[in-house]
Amino acid sequence: MADETDLAALSCQAMIDVPRIRPVLDKIADKWTIMILTVLCPKPARFNEIKRRLDGITHKSLADALKRLERHGLVTRAVLPTSPVGVEYTITPLGHSLRAPFEALCAWALEQEGAFAAAAYAYDRTQEPAC
């Protein structure tokens, strides 16, 4: 019963704080942010290495996402004194603070992958016109 009460209180507080929560979540809950930070979590990486590891992301999407993440203090960008000039991205302490929630979310996604597929299949079957 205490867990339900705590959950209800958190839910109620979250609804009150939506104007403060939503702008932050909008910055980290998009299509690529979680995956980019997951790539950068173990070690810094160059742009093309990140792009290779994120199969399917376009050059523009990655560049835009990295700029946004840098703007919000989740990654830093360092120009390397190489020839040609290289750029390396590193996750910041603020970005690292998302590691545990993101790992939990990724683990949940893997665990629920089958349930998601089954639910979508069941839903799609109910939407098919009857012959």
Alpha carbons within 13 A on the beta-carbon side of 25: 8
Tell me if 125 sits within 8 A of 80, measured CB to CB.
Answer: no
pLDDT score for 89: 98
pLDDT score for 40: 94
- Strand arrangement, sheet containing 75-80: 45-46, 86-91, 75-80
Interatomic CA distance for residues 124 and 35, integer angstroms? 28
pLDDT score for 21: 79
pLDDT in tens, the chain (131 residues): 557 677 676 667 667 777 887 888 888 888 899 899 989 999 999 999 999 999 899 999 999 999 999 999 999 999 999 888 889 999 999 999 998 888 888 899 999 999 999 999 999 999 877 66
β-partners of residue 76 are: 90
pLDDT score for 27: 81
- DSSP of 22-76: HHHHHHHSSSSHHHHHHHHTTS-EEHHHHHHHSTT--HHHHHHHHHHHHHTTSEE
pLDDT score for 71: 96
Which residues are within 8 A (CB) of 46 and not within 5 positions of it... i.e. 6 or more apart?
86, 87, 88, 89
pLDDT score for 26: 81
> What is the reported pTM?
0.74
pLDDT score for 52: 95
pLDDT score for 5: 73
CA distances to 8, 34, 126 from 1, in Å:
11, 33, 36
pLDDT score for 128: 75
Best CATH choice for the domain 30-127 from the list 1.10.260.40, 1.10.287.3510, 1.10.10.10, 3.40.109.10 = 1.10.10.10
